[in-house]
Each structure stands twice: as C-alpha cells, then as structure tokens.
C-alpha cells in the first residue's frame, strides 16, 4: 500500500508530462501543477474513465509534497462540453436494455455509475491544494460540476456557461446542484439558470458571482491562473492548506461548529516553523522559503 502511494508521488515529482485518459498533468513551475483536459476533438467531453483519472490525479497531487497549487484548463475550442453524449451513457443504455435484472438491482448499478463522476469532482474539493480553474469558450453541464468543485474560477471573455442537464433529461447529479448556491449565494438566478439551461456569458457569470475575473482570451486566462497559483505556492503550505480545509468546513457547518473545528485544527497546525518564518519575512520584506509538507 505504502509503496503504491510513494509510486504515485514519485510519478508527480518528475517534471515530465503525464498523459492519462485524455488528461495531461505537467509541473508548470516549482510547486505549481497544470492539469489540462486534453480531448479537443470532443470538446473535452467526459467519459467515466476521465472521471476516474481526475480522481486519481487529485488524490495524487493532494498527497504530493512538491505540489502546492493547481491550475485546471481545457485544451482546444471548448473548456468542457459536458458529458460525452455519444459514449458517456453507454453503461446506462446497456442497463436499460438488460431484462435479467429487476429495478432494485438496476438501481444499485446506477448508483455506482453516478458515484464515479461525483467522486471525480469531489476529489477536487477535498484536495488539500487550492485549485484555480481557467475557463474559456463552452463550459457546459459537467463543466459546471467541475468548476464549482474548484476553489477559484477565472474566465476568458468568450466563456459561455450552461447548467445544461435539464436539456438532456436529467437533474444535474454530480455536483452543480449541491454546490452552486454555496458558491454564488443567489437562489433566484441559480434556479432560473438550472431550470432553463440557458447560456450565460462571462459578464453575467461575474455579476452572478460564479467567476471572480474576466481576461481577454484563453491564453491570458491560463497565464493569470498560473501566476495566481505561483503566488499561492510561495506562501506557507501549512497556512494555505489549512485555509482551504477550514473554508470548506465553514461553508458546510455553523459558525460555532467551524470555530470549534479550527480550534482543534490549529492545536496542531499552529505549532509550525512557518509562523515565525512568515512573520520575519514580512518584517524584513524578504521572501520566506518553506519546507515541504
Ligand atoms: C451520471 C452522469 C452524470 C453527468 C451528467 C452530465 C450531464 C451534462 O454534461 S449535460 C450537457 C451535455 N453536453 C451538451 O449538451 C453539449 C453538446 N455540444 C454542443 O452543444 C456543441 O457541440 C458545442 C456548443 C459544445 C460546440 O458547438 P460547435 O458548433 O462549436 O461544435 P460542434 O460541431 O457541435 O462540435 C464539435 C465536435 O465536438 C463533438 N462534441 C461536442 N460536444 C460533445 C459532447 N458533449 N459529447 C460528445 N461529442 C461532443 C461534436 O460531436 C463534434 O464532433 P465531430 O462531429 O466529430 O467534429
């Protein structure tokens, strides 16, 4: 078990490119990893293997001490066109046609089928390292599930978003409906967008609170995301990762519960050399170097 884990870590410590199930992982700069959806001919549409791979990548990077922040972007004309409508539902179609299983047994299989994309995106949320997503052009259906599981969302001017699931006959079940109101805090607009599936552009996404900044094009959006990721990676990893964990916890709990949680968290995490290093660097206006964690 231990050797497998080390094997994964070693793989990511290497600066060489990793290309797995249409997702490319590169070390963009020290401590910054770039995860690129790389299936441009299909507009980065998801199939189950891609979700499984995304989960593995997120878990590996979460455990990798040489990774302190992550950028996700999409290669080609669209950021992500949602689930692959030709291949993504293959298993479900086979299940519908299977007359040997009763409804309850089919339900159990369907539950595991839906869990794969859920776990793929939830792994981004639970990854200790902050994830900045750089969106350009189409961000549809599963694309919105993906970005709402990330920490910071930046977009190019040409970005077009759609919570598209009602148009393909389903309630979005792999993250959007669970997370988007916590991300934007606007119930009426959320319901309008999720119930009509209409497109909305980058300006509207900014007003709505889904994204935090707009850039002129894809290249400048990715460059800005990498720059932001590098700025985060230069800070204390103890402080940064503790901040992500506690922001996630605070979002899902009461103020009292969250205060209690961070008390317990900082009972160990305040015992860090990073505290003194950061304070001294601030006073001397010099850059601090932090040990891996
Ligand atoms: C348990 C499951 C949980 C997950 C649920 C997820 C649900 C969802 O994601 S719902 C949303 C599904 N996606 C869509 O409805 C988008 C479909 N695509 C489009 O509307 C358009 O393709 C798009 C607006 C993205 C781009 O339009 P454009 O005119 O610029 O290009 P096209 O000629 O339409 O497409 C280019 C080639 O890409 C292929 N493609 C695009 N989207 C998908 C897709 N979702 N699945 C599979 N393939 C896709 C398209 O077929 C073209 O291929 P080719 O003809 O071979 O060039």
Backbone φ and ψ for 123, nearest 5 degrees, come out as: -60, -30
Residue boundaries of the structural domains of the chain: 4-233, 237-284
> Please, how many CA atoms are within 13 Å of residue 179, restricted to the half-sphere of its CB?
22
3-state secondary structure of 198: coil
C-alpha 80 – ligand 1 centre gap (Å): 8
143-153, pLDDT tens digit by residue?
999 999 999 99
Backbone φ and ψ for 209, nearest 5 degrees, come out as: 95, 10
Q: For residue 7, is pLDDT > 60? A: no
- How high is the mean pLDDT of the chain? 93
CB neighbour class for 61 (10 Å; exposed up to 12, middle 13-18, buried from 19): buried
Report the complex ipTM: 0.99
| Mean pLDDT confidence for 59-87 | 97
Query: What's the rounded Cα separation, in Å, for the pair 231 and 235?
Result: 7
Q: For residue 162, is pLDDT > 60? A: yes
Q: For residue 17, is pLDDT > 50? A: yes
Backbone φ and ψ for 64, nearest 5 degrees, come out as: -85, 115
What atom in ligand 1 is closest to the CA of residue 174?
3
224-266, pLDDT tens digit by residue?
999 999 999 999 999 999 999 999 999 999 999 999 999 999 9
183-206, pLDDT tens digit by residue?
999 999 999 999 999 999 999 999
Rounded to two decimals, what is the model's pTM? Answer: 0.93
Query: What pLDDT is recorded for position 8?
Result: 36
| Mean pLDDT confidence for 202-213 | 98
What atom in ligand 1 is closest to the CA of residue 141?
9
64 CB within 6 A, ligand 1: no
Query: What pLDDT is recorded for position 20?
Result: 62
Token pair in block for residue 214: 């707009």
Query: What pLDDT is recorded for position 2?
Result: 32
Q: Any alpha helices (H) in the chain, and if so which ranges?
A: 2-13, 48-63, 90-97, 103-126, 142-148, 176-184, 187-196, 202-208, 218-233, 237-252, 255-269, 273-284
Query: What pLDDT is recorded for position 13?
Result: 38
Note whether 288 and 278 are within 8 A (CB): yes
Query: What's the rounded Cα separation, in Å, for the pair 20 and 36?
Result: 10
Query: What's the rounded Cα separation, in Å, for the pair 147 and 124?
Result: 9
Query: What pLDDT is recorded for position 91?
Result: 86
118-140, pLDDT tens digit by residue?
999 999 999 999 999 999 999 99
C-alpha 149 – ligand 1 centre gap (Å): 21
Measured N-to-C along each axis, helices 48-63 and 103-126 cross at an angle, to the nearest 10 degrees, of 40
Note whether 133 and 154 are within 8 A (CB): yes
Query: What pLDDT is recorded for position 18?
Result: 62
Instruction: State whether CATH 3.40.50.620 applies to domain 4-233.
Output: no
Query: What's the rounded Cα separation, in Å, for the pair 161 and 138?
Result: 6
User: What is the dotted CATH code of the domain comprising 237-284?
Assistant: 1.10.12.10
90 CB within 6 A, ligand 1: no
**Protein residue with its CA nearest to atom 47 in ligand 1:** 84
C-alpha 138 – ligand 1 centre gap (Å): 9
142 CB within 6 A, ligand 1: yes
Do the domains 4-233 and 237-284 sit in the same CATH topology, yes or no?
no
33 - beta bridge partners?
27, 70
Site to probe by mutation for ligand 1, drawn from 82, 88, 164 as the one with most ligand atoms within 8 Å of Cβ, is: 82
| Mean pLDDT confidence for 91-108 | 92
276 CB within 6 A, ligand 1: no
pLDDT confidence of 172, banded at 50, 70, 90?
confident
Note whether 198 and 162 are within 8 A (CB): yes
């Amino acid at each position: 078990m231990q050797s497998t884990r080390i094997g994964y870590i070693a793989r990511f410590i290497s600066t060489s490119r990793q290309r797995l199930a249409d997702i490319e992982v590169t070390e963009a700069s020290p401590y910054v990893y770039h995860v690129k959806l790389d299936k441009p001919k299909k507009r980065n549409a998801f199939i189950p293997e891609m979700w499984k791979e995304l989960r593995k990548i997120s878990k590996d990077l979460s455990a990798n001490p040489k990774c302190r922040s992550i950028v996700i972007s999409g290669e080609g004309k669209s950021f992500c066109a949602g689930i692959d409508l030709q291949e993504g539902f293959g298993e479900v179609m086979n299940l519908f046609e299977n007359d040997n299983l009763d409804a309850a047994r089919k339900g159990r299989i369907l539950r595991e089928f839906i869990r794969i994309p859920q776990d793929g995106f939830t792994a981004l949320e639970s990854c200790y390292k902050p994830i900045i997503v750089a969106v350009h052009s189409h961000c549809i259906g599963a694309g919105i599930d993906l970005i709402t599981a990330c920490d910071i969302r930046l977009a190019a001017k040409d970005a077009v978003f759609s919570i598209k699931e009602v148009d393909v006959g389903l309630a979005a079940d792999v993250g959007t409906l669970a997370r988007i109101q916590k991300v934007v805090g606007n119930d009426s607009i959320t319901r309008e967008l999720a119930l009509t599936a209409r497109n909305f552009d980058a300006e509207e996404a900014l007003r709505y609170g889904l994204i935090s900044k707009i850039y002129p094009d894809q290249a400048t959006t990715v460059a800005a995301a990498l720059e932001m990721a590098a700025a985060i990676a230069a800070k204390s990893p103890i402080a940064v990762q503790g901040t992500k964990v506690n922001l996630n916890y605070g979002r899902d709990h009461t103020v009292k519960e969250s205060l209690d949680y961070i008390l317990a968290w900082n009972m160990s995490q305040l015992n860090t050399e990073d505290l003194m290093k950061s304070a001294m660097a601030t006073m001397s206006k010099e850059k601090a170097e932090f040990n891996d964690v």
